[in-house]
Amino acid sequence: MGKHGLVVRISAAASALVLGVSGCGSESANPDSPSPPALAGVGPITLVTGKDFSGNLQHQLDEWNGQHPDQPVQLIELPENADAQRQQMVQNAQTRSDAYTVLNLDVVWTAEFAANQWVVQLPEAEFPLGSLVPATVDTARYFKRLYAVPMNSDGGLLYYRKDLLDAAGLTAPKTWSEMSADCAKVLPANPGVSCYAGQFEKYEGLTVNFAEAVHSAGGSVVGEDGKPTVNTEAARRGLSFLVDGVRTGEIPQKARTFKEEESRRAFQAGELLFQRQWPYQYAKAQATDGSSAVAGKFGVATLPGLSGPGVSSLGGHNLAVSAFAKNKRSGLELIKFLTGEQQQRANLEKTSQAPSWASLYDEPALVARFPYLTELKKSILGAKRRPAVVKYQEVSVAIQEAAYGAMSGTTGVDQALATLQGKLDALTR
Ligand code: GLC
């Protein structure tokens, strides 16, 4: 682990405390950050990423290859599971391999990759950071310095079956108890439809869903002072939302095997009334080629919470240049290409992934075509970061074990949270 392994940065506010910087200062060039050495090396490169759910990334790279025949990029796709993606990227870095040039890093991995110097500092003056959503740029910094550039943001949304709610005279629920009441009304007449699911397999997605439940009950996973706060009444209520859901059957048993794609398939097959999911699903669930049974029948809303609207975890991915790559300059140019306005716009139009360009969320023509953009913007602006620590993976695994044990009924909620508090205390001390 790097020398900053014990430093914790949680939210924008907390990082401002730790670093003595303004949380919103990231959109302009950073005077405190010495410019990194110029990146050299022009020629063939690779882009390594988790499984591309959208199917559009290869098209984007084909376009780059057409324009840059001397610097062709090859796409390397890793598994769907975020933890498995990280493991392969870490192993590649530990062997100092040149196999990966540009890394599509989950927003939660920046600290680890930067502290270990597996990715290089980027020259921020070369990027239009001021045009990007500030919170996404914050996730790409480590100790004020820029190590990556936002490729896509992500915010959790509540997908709901508008057709079934309309038929019962209902609108999208704002709280967990309204959601339960809606299920009690709608489900008896709709056999084969379950109330709610998210991503509850034991992996990063469960950490996302746990953090959302805790924040949506008014709690936090780690406080603004960097100290873990899961041994609280709010955290208990948050975890109980998930645990009680499984116990009562509102969350179907099989949802404990759901990652993003399993839950998408269930929603698209018409098996869920409500579902927590990222924006990429919108375009897929609206497809009219027969692959979705719910095209034209669903809506998206803010996640529900304990006593009002809930809070999303901030997701997304940032592009970084491997410290061990030969053709770093070409890698940097590819990052400019993929994070530039033209590709961000084209990708939004084709895939419904959350762009990193702020203005795209407000453009009237786009909002008219993609009505979910308004909800998505709210979700991202209100989203909370997961802990920005070098030992993030250990933090996440501790959360996954606590949440999975409690949702499987092998550990009580109080015991799971007490154990988690102890582990997080040790990891963030
Ligand atoms: C999405 C998010 C990412 C998150 C992952 C969890 O890919 O963008 O931030 O960690 O889902 O499965």
Which domains are assigned to the chain?
A: 12-154+314-381 (3.40.190.10), 155-313+388-427 (3.40.190.10)
**Ligand 1, atom 9: nearest CA belongs to which residue?**
315
Give CA–CA dist 196/279, Å, rounded.
17
Give whole-number Cα distances, 410 to 214, 398, 401, 403, in Å: 20, 15, 11, 10
- The secondary structure element, H or E, covering residue 137 is helix 134-138
314: CA distance to ligand 1 center in Å?
Answer: 9
In short, whether 12's Cβ falls inside 6 Å of ligand 1 is no
315: CA distance to ligand 1 center in Å?
Answer: 5
One digit per residue, the tens of pLDDT, for the chain of length 429 reads 333 333 334 333 333 323 222 233 334 445 566 678 899 999 999 999 999 988 999 999 999 999 999 999 999 999 999 999 999 999 999 999 999 999 999 999 999 999 999 999 999 999 999 999 999 999 999 999 999 999 999 999 999 999 999 999 999 999 999 999 999 999 999 999 999 999 999 999 999 999 999 999 999 999 989 899 999 999 999 999 999 999 999 999 999 999 999 999 999 999 999 999 999 999 999 999 999 999 999 999 999 999 999 999 999 999 999 999 999 999 999 999 999 999 999 999 999 999 999 999 999 999 999 999 999 999 999 999 999 999 999 999 999 999 999 999 999 999 999 999 999 999 988
**Ligand 1, atom 2: nearest CA belongs to which residue?**
315
- The full DSSP string for 43-56 is S-EEEEES--TTS-
In short, whether 52's Cβ falls inside 6 Å of ligand 1 is no
Query: Global pTM?
Result: 0.93
In short, whether 132's Cβ falls inside 6 Å of ligand 1 is no
In short, whether 106's Cβ falls inside 6 Å of ligand 1 is yes
In short, whether 205's Cβ falls inside 6 Å of ligand 1 is yes
Mode of pairing for the β-strands spanning 298-301 and 157-161: antiparallel
Give CA–CA dist 406/400, Å, rounded.
10
- The full DSSP string for 168-217 is TT----SBHHHHHHHHHHHGGGSTT-EEEE---SSSHHHHHHHHHHHHHT
